[in-house]
Structure 1
Amino acid sequence: MTRTTAKLVLAVAAVCFAHAAVAKSSDRRQTMRVQADRSDCVVTDGGPCVLTGNVHIVQGSLVIEAARADIRQGDGDIQSARLTGSPVKLRQEMDNGGTMNATAAQVDYDLRQDTVVFTGGAVVQQPGRGSIAGERIVYNMRTGQVQGGGGENGGRVTLQFEPRNRTGERDAGDDGND
């Protein structure tokens, strides 16, 4: 496993969480395993690394599945990464015991700008917290800002917020007569 691949997976995982503490913190200390049908990587700085065919990345509870991972590096670090698939799938346990799931046709990570962009039927779900879906979801890892949009064809972004009290109990003072 290359240092470049490890950085890619950490970057992609970070985008899927509204706050870094949400991800299972122990995952970053786990061994990462990457499998693909083919790889074509230039080992010099600035060279691309392209993984194709059934790309499967696992680090602790983090699991990423994609058809292709195109990683671009410079100055010894990843500059950008593009994951594509039918769709790209990401899953990771959270420290609170829940699981985050995300899917999109394409996931673009820009290390220089600390942003991740999910495009093409993008959905990020955090059970117990909610979800966001749209044709384009942008996450700024530096600021924690998440922006969603329906795309150029007039689609809409959909947000779902889960209530804190999901036990089915009535609120205090609620007599059930509405």
Structure 2
Amino acid sequence: MNRRVASTLPLLAALACVAAGSAWAKSSDRNQRMNVSADASDCSVDDSGPCILTGNVHISQGTLDIKSSKADLRRGGDQQVIKLTGSPVQMKQQMDDGGWMNATAAQIDYDQNRDTVVFSGNAVVKQPGKGSISGERIVYNMATGQVQSGAAAGGGRVNMTFEPKNKSAGNGKATPEKAEPTPEPAGQDDN
């Protein structure tokens, strides 16, 4: 492995934490091999320098799968910041309960020091069977599990959908009403 790429591995490992909160990630993914590919890279040999990946960036680690146009990885001392941009950035990951989280946004920022992930620009996070949230900006605090969302300065709305917790109470199906007997057409005889 070349030294430039090797020096960015700790920073790329932090990228796996983008969805590392217990509600949004499969915890065993952190222990899996991370694969990163892109059309081009421009990475500093110095650990504190930037690493820029461009063109068809694809990052996978266990069930975590991220696709973006660009990944800008910055590390200085203990601080790690990762900015993914795309049209849009696509991220999916299986959760510990077996469900999946799917997210899209124009930009996803991960700040290790603040333990936050910010989805911005037409952000949508979906957890099939649980619900979804969409808006211009969604902030997820991985330490607390707190999710905040709101519009950018220009306005906009936050939209949320919550699935019922117990679908088995109604089996998720409407109860059919008793059907009325179908009348025989007039003028027909059974003889």
- Using the size of structure 1 for normalisation, the TM-score is 0.86
Contact 2:60 2:66 in 1 (8 A): yes
> 1: distance between equivalents of 2:23 and 2:137?
24
Contact 1:71 1:78 in 2 (8 A): no
Residue 19 of structure 2 aligns with an amino acid whose one-letter code is A
> 1: distance between equivalents of 2:155 and 2:24?
32
Q: Give the 3 Å change call, closer, same or farther, for CA 56–78 of structure 1 in structure 2.
A: farther
1:138-153 matches, cutoff 5 A: 138-153=139-154
Q: Give the 3 Å change call, closer, same or farther, for CA 146–99 of structure 1 in structure 2.
A: same
> 2: distance between equivalents of 1:110 and 1:39?
21
Q: 1:11 maps to what in 2?
A: 17
* Residue range with higher mean Cα deviation, 52-61 or 92-101: 92-101
The aligned length equals 167
> 1: distance between equivalents of 2:133 and 2:96?
20
Structure 1 runs not aligned, ≥5 long: 171-175
1:79-90 matches, cutoff 5 A: 79-90=80-91
- Using the size of structure 2 for normalisation, the TM-score is 0.80
> 2: distance between equivalents of 1:144 and 1:168?
28
Question: Is it true that 1:166 corresponds to 2:167 in the alignment?
Answer: yes
Structure 2 runs not aligned, ≥5 long: 1-5, 172-176, 178-191
| Local SS of the residue matching 1:20 | coil
Q: 1:136 maps to what in 2?
A: 137
Contact 1:7 1:78 in 2 (8 A): no
CA-atom RMSD in angstroms: 2.1
| Partner deviation per Cα, 1:120-158 (whole Å, 9 max, x = no partner) | 000111112111100000111122111011222221001
* Aligned match for 1:55, one of 41, 54, 57: 57
> 1: distance between equivalents of 2:80 and 2:10?
13
Q: Give the 3 Å change call, closer, same or farther, for CA 36–80 of structure 1 in structure 2.
A: same
Q: Give the 3 Å change call, closer, same or farther, for CA 125–31 of structure 1 in structure 2.
A: same
> How high is the sequence identity, in percent, across the aligned residues?
61
Contact 2:54 2:69 in 1 (8 A): yes
Residue 3 of structure 1 aligns with an amino acid whose one-letter code is P
Q: Give the 3 Å change call, closer, same or farther, for CA 22–90 of structure 1 in structure 2.
A: closer
1:70-85 matches, cutoff 5 A: 70-75=72-77, 77-85=78-86
Q: 1:173 maps to what in 2?
A: none
> 2: distance between equivalents of 1:117 and 1:70?
15
* Aligned match for 1:69, one of 58, 71, 94: 71
Q: 1:30 maps to what in 2?
A: 32
Q: Give the 3 Å change call, closer, same or farther, for CA 5–132 of structure 1 in structure 2.
A: same
Return the structure number with greater strand share: 1
Residue 156 of structure 1 aligns with an amino acid whose one-letter code is R
* Residue range with higher mean Cα deviation, 155-164 or 145-154: 145-154
